[in-house]
Structure 1
């Protein structure tokens, strides 16, 4: 006999995480930064957080990824589940940033600037 259904557990998990956050704890979100040949991928995994709850904000060179909890879509007040902030280096092309929710992770992809825009030393010719 199953006293607690899977739906009950799925529905209560975000609320337990919210209570942990409001009580001074933190949501168990993890962030990993993978350097690749064409750029970097910021991977954020937060258990039991649906894709609609994630937000990605870029302000100058500061990237903020956060998730919020609202009891219903009409609620004007939201409680934060987690927040992660990164200062991005000048080598990244912030005009081409994008984000996709894949599997159970949010992937924020930021390509490097084109090699032609990187500073380089110019050889001086003598005549």
Structure 2
């Protein structure tokens, strides 16, 4: 469908809608319309790249990753030369048998997020926890990098 606007000599705008579909718009509607939703609604069960919040507090950095539906054992967290990698792989097989049919579905999903840590992180004290769909990674700062409380300096 195309929208054409004509401007007459008096300056008023008149909008005309022409509803004559072209062959290419029919083709686009077919390919971009219902066909992909039919396939994606049944077969797109993979994990998208999870959202991550990273915050800095006085004595650490905290990474929060929203990954509901997984188990603690699904995750792999690696640290290699100040590069933190968080990944998960899930393989799923389902079979439903009825007297008239058998339905089998299988899927494989994975993701990997990688972060470069600042050198102020004490890598020997990093810990992680997973609770109610949120993976938390606590990255403590080295003692010399921790923020010191504000203080007043007396003039002598």
TM over 0.5: yes
Match of 1:31 in 2: 52
Secondary structure at the counterpart of residue 92 of structure 2:
coil
Q: Does 1:42 align with 2:63?
A: yes
Gaps of at least 5 residues in structure 2 are 1-42, 94-106, 147-156
Pick 1 or 2: higher relative contact order, CA cutoff 8 A, min separation 6: 1
The superposition leaves residues 69-105 of structure 1 with CA deviations (integer Å, 9 ceiling, x where unpaired) of: 1337xxxxx9452110000010111111111112221
Gaps of at least 5 residues in structure 1 are 1-14, 22-26, 73-77, 118-127
Q: Does 1:111 align with 2:140?
A: yes
- Closer, same or farther in 2 for the Cα pair 1:69/1:116, shift >3 Å? closer
How many residue pairs were aligned? 91
Contact persistence 2:68–2:132 (CA under 8 A): no
Deviation at 1:48, TM superposition (A): 2.3
- Closer, same or farther in 2 for the Cα pair 1:46/1:64, shift >3 Å? same
Larger radius of gyration: 2
Match of 1:8 in 2: none
Secondary structure at the counterpart of residue 65 of structure 2:
strand
TM norm structure 2: 0.51
Match of 1:12 in 2: none
Runs of 4+ in 1 over 4 A off after TM superposition: none
- Closer, same or farther in 2 for the Cα pair 1:49/1:33, shift >3 Å? same
Contact persistence 1:32–1:42 (CA under 8 A): yes
